[in-house]
Amino acid sequence: MPFELTSTAFAAGERIPGKYTCDGEDISPPLQWSNAPGDTRSFALIADDPDAPIGTWVHWVLYNLPGETRALPQAVPPDADMPDGSRHGKSSWGRLSYGGPCPPGGTHRYFFKLYALDTVLDLPAGASKEQLLQAMEGHILAQTELMGLYSRQ
């Protein structure tokens, strides 16, 4: 079975509900995953929008999720360091939390990318997407993604 990322809030390729965007509550959607490699020590998540007019816009960076984790609840708290050891990185808004879709125009694609890693990363809270990608080099066991769409009404 392939490593798979899903959400009860939206299906792959479907519209992300407004409550998870800047037009709603701007809270993170619930995510679940299955079939991670057995030797996974931690997970990392990057959510971004490659359709932003100024280049890819990073909406969420979260890493060091424990290897036994299989889901994130709706509305993950905006804490830099979480009780389970996971940490928030910095979004394109400069925040250490989720920031929902908020396209200036048109329909944009939002990719939630989940990485299964063979290590716990030695990165402080607040790392950028680029710093996270660099720290993950050589440690990615598997990756999966979930893409949702959003356009403002």
Per-residue pLDDT of the chain (153 residues; tens, 9 = 90+): 999 999 999 999 999 999 999 999 999 999 999 999 999 999 999 999 999 999 999 999 999 999 999 999 999 999 999 999 999 999 999 999 999 999 999 999 999 999 999 999 999 999 999 999 999 999 999 999 999 999 997
Around 109, how many Cα atoms within 13 Å sit in the side-chain half-sphere?
11
> Yes or no: is domain 4-150 CATH 3.30.1700.10?
no
Supply angle C-alpha 130, 134, 138, rounded to 5: 150
**Model pTM?**
0.97
What is the pLDDT, as a whole number, of residue 63?
Answer: 98
Identify the pLDDT of residue 67.
98
Q: What are the structural domain ranges in the chain? A: 4-150
